[in-house]
Amino acid sequence: MSWLLSYWKPALIVLFCFLAVWWFSHQRYTAGYSKANLEWALKWQERDADDATALAKRQAEARAEEQRRQGEIDAIEKKAEGQIAQAAADADHARAVSDGLHDEAAKLAARLAASERAHRAATASESTTGTTGSELLAELFRRADQRAGELAAIADQARIRGLTCEAAYGALTSAKVVEK
């Protein structure tokens, strides 16, 4: 212990020198470490910003494509609605013409029936039935024409809906559909 009391000043100086060297070397190490961390943090932030920008760009492009496709589908639907309305108008017109033909056929059948009845009245041997052949033929014609009109309307709507579906699919897949 006497040695420590006699050399305490140089021992303290050596201790301070040792602590100073350790302190400065530690500061340089942590300074380099901090600098490296800061550089990497900046790189990661830049990468994250680039990723966010790319994501926003992809989302904007996807929204634009979705809006384009929806616009095409809306236009296709509007066109189909117009075609269906035109087909319905054509069917109504055909029905009106058909009704006129049915009226004419009924008048002709009534004249023929009256003629047949008069002929039957002249010959008492034949039995009288309530309906003549011409009336049955006129009724058969009316029913067949009415059913044909119904089937034509169904076929027209099915065709228009099928073409609309093809056009909508083509718009979604960006393929051009040839109109028939």
Q: Where are the domains of the chain?
A: 2-173
> 21 to each of 14, 17, 27, 34, 78, how far by Cα in Å?
10, 6, 10, 20, 84
> In residues, how long is the chain?
180
Contact (Cβ atoms closer than 8 angstroms) between residue 92 and residue 156: no
Can you give the pLDDT at residue 101? 83
- Output the pLDDT for position 11: 77
User: Considering the entire predicted model, what is its pTM?
Assistant: 0.53
Q: What is the pLDDT of residue 158?
A: 92
**102, 141 Cβ separation under 8 angstroms:** yes
- The predicted pLDDT at position 125 comes to 54
Other CB atoms within 10 A of residue 56 CB: 10
Q: How far is CA 127 from the centre of its chain?
A: 67
What pLDDT is stored for residue 47 in this prediction?
Answer: 95
Residue 128 near residue 120, CB atoms below 8 Å: yes
Q: What is the pLDDT of residue 180?
A: 47
The residue among 91, 102, 100 whose CA lies nearest residue 149 is 91
CA-CA distance, 36 to 42, in Å (whole number)? 10
In sequence order, the 6+-apart residues with CB closer than 8 A to the CB of 113 are: 132, 134, 135
Q: pLDDT tens string for the chain (180 positions)? A: 677 677 778 878 888 888 888 887 777 667 667 777 888 899 999 999 999 999 999 999 999 988 988 999 999 999 999 998 998 898 889 888 888 888 888 888 788 777 777 776 666 555 555 566 777 887 888 888 889 888 988 998 899 999 999 988 888 886 444 444
Sign of CA dihedral 61, 62, 67, 73: positive
